[in-house]
């Protein structure tokens, strides 16, 4: 019985964090080869997700809380200054409720003015991050690739997006 408890404790203390880091690294590596959206102000470079903290925001242009969340991410960028953190927006569910609308996306970009790359999501990217099925969703990863924090907008929730303070705290 003591051996079993020791093995379980060993897993919790040593192996579980390593597995979480591996999952985070695997998720971030799934972004290699991802296509930058045509409307993105910045190009996506997969090298920017290695050895530094990463904030990933899953969004769609029709999502009102996503606009608020992008505003919060701009506050984070301003607050952290030159600190080496990569921000990425991943567009998911864009065609939900109809077809993709380039004009709607252009309005979203003009309204939010993201200072980070926007990439086109896919089922494979969604699965790599734990099957994203709600937006906005934000995941923060440490420089070691380990996920340190996640916000998911739940249906009917009062809180609809991640705040700058929450993201900054997760980056510390």
* HEC profile of 98-117: CCCCHHHHHHHHHHHCCCCE
Domain count, the chain: 1
Which CATH number does the domain housing residue 33 bear?
3.40.30.10
Q: What is the pTM of this model?
A: 0.82
Q: What is the mean pLDDT of the chain?
A: 84
Residue 31 or 165, more confident: 165
For residue 22, give its domain range: 2-171
Instruction: Reply yes or no on whether the pLDDT at 1 is more than 80.
Output: no
Mean of the pLDDT values across residues 124-148? 93
Q: In sequence order, what E strands does 44-156 have? A: 54-59, 86-91, 117-120, 137-141, 147-152
Task: Write out the two tokens for 84.
Answer: 């080496």
Give the pLDDT confidence of 55-103 residue by residue, as tens digits.
Answer: 999 999 999 999 999 999 999 999 999 999 999 999 998 987 777 888 8
């Amino acid at each position: 019985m003591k051996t079993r408890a020791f093995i379980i404790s060993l897993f919790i203390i040593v192996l579980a964090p390593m597995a979480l880091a591996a999952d985070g690294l695997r998720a971030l590596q799934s972004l290699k080869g991802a296509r930058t959206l045509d409307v993105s102000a910045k190009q996506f470079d997969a090298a920017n997700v290695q050895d530094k903290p990463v904030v990933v925001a899953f969004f769609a242009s029709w999502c009102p809380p996503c606009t608020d969340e992008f505003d919060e991410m701009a506050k984070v960028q301003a607050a952290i200054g030159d600190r080496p953190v990569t921000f990425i927006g991943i567009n998911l569910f864009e065609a939900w409720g109809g077809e993709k609308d380039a004009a709607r996306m252009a309005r979203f970009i003009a309204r939010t003015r993201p200072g980070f790359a926007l990439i086109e999501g896919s089922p494979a990217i969604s699965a790599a991050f734990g099957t994203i099925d709600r937006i906005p969703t934000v995941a923060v990863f440490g420089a070691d690739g380990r996920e340190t924090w996640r916000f998911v907008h739940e249906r009917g929730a009062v809180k609809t997006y991640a705040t700058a303070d929450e993201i900054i705290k997760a980056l510390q």
